[in-house]
DNA sequence: ATGCATGAGGC
DNA sequence: CCTCATGCATA
């Protein structure tokens, strides 16, 4: 319990093991700064009461912050203190832009191709390795809301400026958008994404291909800027545990693969598989494990202030006896989690059906 | 399936 | 130091 031995955390990662410096599409992010720059009328009330709240939060965490906690201690519960941007469970919406705009110079050298053959979209189960991983970084930009103040440097006018808040597919808005000449683009429709993810998984399974296989096969598609993806990503795509933008960016790629794979399957073309060359010998990364009690505390802190300052993070880290970096990353991941397409709003719709997404 | 981590890109 | 897309390691 409570052992967080980590190893690579320090910084001994010098030669990016899993990414190619070359191909990277610009990430058009839009403005996270808006959140931070939010003119909090209350300034930084946390600065003052933070300690008290945090302590209390932690105290509560020790007891049971999972539920009825708000009334327990009669204190100022986070429930209503969320002056800060607080997460827009559904306030953000589909930025009506296109997902992939990564046109690089395909410096394709060869990108492996273990099987030696061409598009290996056929079921090639196994082959636990990491041949060539690269990223494709589609286009992402957080679509915030409000503030006419958009970022300067990041170009890509997709941010649309205002409008963006949920509802690209809202009946009325959809009509308005259409009239405006813009199209809701079926690809950005949450329902469509959900439906596709479901279809994708089903057909993938029918083809007898694993998530890992799909990821690796993507590299064989040789689409510009598209390389292999991990099992994790494929899994997350299928389960919708990705951000809306990420889903949109990945959809066309996976769709392309699916079509190719089915086409090949149709031809019954089964070619003598090939030996999977295991590069082998890579260094292992050790994963820190945050114990339950510490995790509970972190959650309590997070409920009060999802974006603690560096100093606060340091304080929390010390209090919980965790590395500062571990705590920082935990918060980052936690924030990212809330933005996942599925895990927000209602857990009942995470499955499929009709949808009512809420992001 | 998911927790913790890395790194590019950006202020 | 953040956000985001992604991945390794692991439960």
Give the C-alpha separation, A251 to A99, whole Å: 9
Distance (Å) from CA A216 to C1' C6? 14
Whether A28 has a pLDDT exceeding 80, the answer reads no
Give the C-alpha separation, A336 to A306, whole Å: 11
Whether A313 has a pLDDT exceeding 90, the answer reads yes
Residue pair A177/A193 in contact by the 8 Å Cβ criterion: no
Tokens of A111: 């990108």
- Domain end position, chosen among A250, A268, A286: A268
Distance (Å) from CA A286 to C1' C8? 9
Percent of chain A with pLDDT over 70: 39
In a domain, A335, yes or no: yes
Give the C-alpha separation, A262 to A217, whole Å: 13
A261 and A298 in one domain? no
Check residue A340 and give its pLDDT.
Answer: 87
Distances from the Cα of A83 to the Cα of A48, A91, A190, A224, A307, angstroms: 14, 16, 29, 44, 12
Distance (Å) from CA A17 to C1' C7? 10
Tokens of A344: 């927000």
Instruction: Work out whether the CA dihedral A69, A338, A236, A182 comes out positive or negative.
Output: positive
Q: Which nucleotides of B are covered by protein (CB under 7 A)?
A: 1-11
The pLDDT confidence band at residue A66, using thresholds 50, 70 and 90, is: very low
Residue pair A301/A335 in contact by the 8 Å Cβ criterion: no
Whether A279 has a pLDDT exceeding 60, the answer reads no
CATH code at A304?
Answer: 1.10.10.60
| Distance, C-alpha A206 to centroid of its chain | 27
Give the C-alpha separation, A287 to A45, whole Å: 35
Check residue A55 and give its pLDDT.
Answer: 58
A175 and A256 in one domain? yes
Whether A25 has a pLDDT exceeding 80, the answer reads no
Distances from the Cα of A70 to the Cα of A75, A86, A263, A304, angstroms: 8, 17, 57, 12
A257 and A183 in one domain? yes
Whether A230 has a pLDDT exceeding 70, the answer reads yes
In a domain, A232, yes or no: yes
Check residue A73 and give its pLDDT.
Answer: 34
Burial A251-285 (b: 16+ CB within 10 A, else e): bbbbeebbebbeebbeeeeeeebeeeeeeeeeeee
The residue behind tokens 């993810």 is: A197
| Distance, C-alpha A129 to centroid of its chain | 23
In a domain, A191, yes or no: yes
In a domain, A203, yes or no: yes
> Looking at the 3D structure of chain A, how many domains does it have?
2
The pLDDT confidence band at residue A202, using thresholds 50, 70 and 90, is: very high
A215 and A174 in one domain? yes
Residue nearest to nucleotide B9 (CA to C1'): A27
Distance (Å) from CA A350 to C1' B6? 28
Going by C-alpha positions, the residue among A293, A292, A300, A286 that lies closest to residue A334 is A300
Domain that holds residue A317: 294-343
Give the C-alpha separation, A98 to A48, whole Å: 44
Check residue A266 and give its pLDDT.
Answer: 85
Give the C-alpha separation, A203 to A209, whole Å: 9
When pLDDT is averaged across residues A124-152 and rounded to a whole number, the result is 34
Check residue A56 and give its pLDDT.
Answer: 55
In a domain, A186, yes or no: yes
Distance (Å) from CA A218 to C1' C6? 15
Residue A197 CB contacts under 8 Å (≥ 6 apart), including other chains: A237, A238, A239, A240, A247
Check residue A58 and give its pLDDT.
Answer: 57
Give the C-alpha separation, A158 to A137, whole Å: 17
Residue A66 CB contacts under 8 Å (≥ 6 apart), including other chains: none
CATH code at A231?
Answer: 1.10.260.40
Tokens of A206: 């029918």
For strand C, which residues in window 203-242 of chain A come within 7 Å by CB? 215, 228-233, 236, 242
Residue nearest to nucleotide B10 (CA to C1'): A29
Distance (Å) from CA A237 to C1' B4? 19
Check residue A342 and give its pLDDT.
Answer: 79
In a domain, A41, yes or no: no
Whether A32 has a pLDDT exceeding 70, the answer reads no
In this complex, the answer to whether residue A357 has its CB under 7 A from any atom of chain C, a nucleic strand, is: no
The residue among A128 and A217 whose pLDDT is bigger is A217
Whether A5 has a pLDDT exceeding 70, the answer reads no
* Nearest-nucleotide field for A36 (CA, C1'): C2
Check residue A259 and give its pLDDT.
Answer: 95
Tell me the Cα Rg of chain A. 23
Check residue A53 and give its pLDDT.
Answer: 52
Does the pTM exceed 0.85?
A: no
Distance (Å) from CA A73 to C1' B4? 32
A235 and A185 in one domain? yes
In a domain, A86, yes or no: no
Residue pair A358/A346 in contact by the 8 Å Cβ criterion: yes
Report chain A's terminal Cα–Cα distance, integer Å. 36
Check residue A52 and give its pLDDT.
Answer: 52
In this complex, the answer to whether residue A328 has its CB under 7 A from any atom of chain C, a nucleic strand, is: yes
* Nearest-nucleotide field for A239 (CA, C1'): B1
A95: left (phi over 0), alpha (psi -120 to 50) or beta: beta
In a domain, A49, yes or no: no
Going by C-alpha positions, the residue among A141, A173, A126 that lies closest to residue A278 is A126
* Nearest-nucleotide field for A333 (CA, C1'): B4
């Amino acid at each position: 319990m409570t052992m967080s031995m980590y190893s690579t955390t320090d910084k001994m990662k010098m030669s990016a093991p899993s990414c190619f410096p070359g191909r990277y599409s610009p990430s058009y992010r839009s403005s996270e700064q808006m959140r931070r720059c939010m003119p909090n009328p209350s300034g930084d009330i946390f600065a003052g009461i933070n300690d008290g709240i945090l302590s209390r939060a932690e105290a509560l965490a020790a007891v049971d912050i999972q539920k009825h906690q708000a009334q327990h201690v009669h204190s100022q519960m986070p429930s209503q203190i969320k002056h800060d941007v607080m997460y827009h469970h559904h306030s953000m919406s589909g930025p009506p832009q296109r997902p992939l705009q990564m046109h690089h110079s395909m410096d394709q050298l060869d990108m492996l191709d273990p099987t030696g053959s061409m598009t290996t979209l056929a079921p090639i189960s196994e082959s636990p390795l990491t041949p060539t991983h690269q990223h494709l970084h589609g286009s992402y930009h957080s679509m915030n809301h409000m503030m006419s103040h958009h970022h300067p440097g990041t170009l890509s006018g997709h941010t649309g400026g205002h409008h963006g808040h949920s509802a690209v597919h809202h009946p009325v808005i959809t009509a308005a958008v259409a009239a405006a000449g813009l199209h809701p683009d079926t690809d950005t429709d949450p329902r469509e994404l959900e439906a596709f993810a479901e279809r994708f998984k089903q057909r993938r399974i029918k083809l007898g291909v694993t998530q890992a296989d799909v990821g690796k096969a993507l590299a064989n598609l040789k689409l510009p800027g598209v390389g292999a993806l991990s099992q994790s990503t494929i899994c997350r795509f299928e389960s919708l545990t990705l951000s809306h933008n990420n889903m949109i960016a990945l959809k066309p790629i996976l769709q392309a693969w699916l079509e190719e794979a089915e086409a090949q399957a149709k031809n019954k073309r089964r070619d003598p598989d090939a030996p999977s060359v295991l590069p082998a010998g890579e260094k292992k990364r050790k994963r820190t494990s945050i114990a339950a009690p510490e995790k509970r505390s972190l959650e309590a802190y997070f409920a009060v202030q999802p974006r603690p300052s560096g100093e606060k993070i340091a304080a929390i880290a010390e209090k919980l006896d965790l590395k500062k970096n571990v705590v920082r990353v935990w918060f980052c991941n936690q924030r990212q989690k809330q933005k996942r397409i599925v895990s927000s709003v209602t857990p009942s719709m995470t499955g499929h059906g009709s949808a009512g997404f809420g992001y």
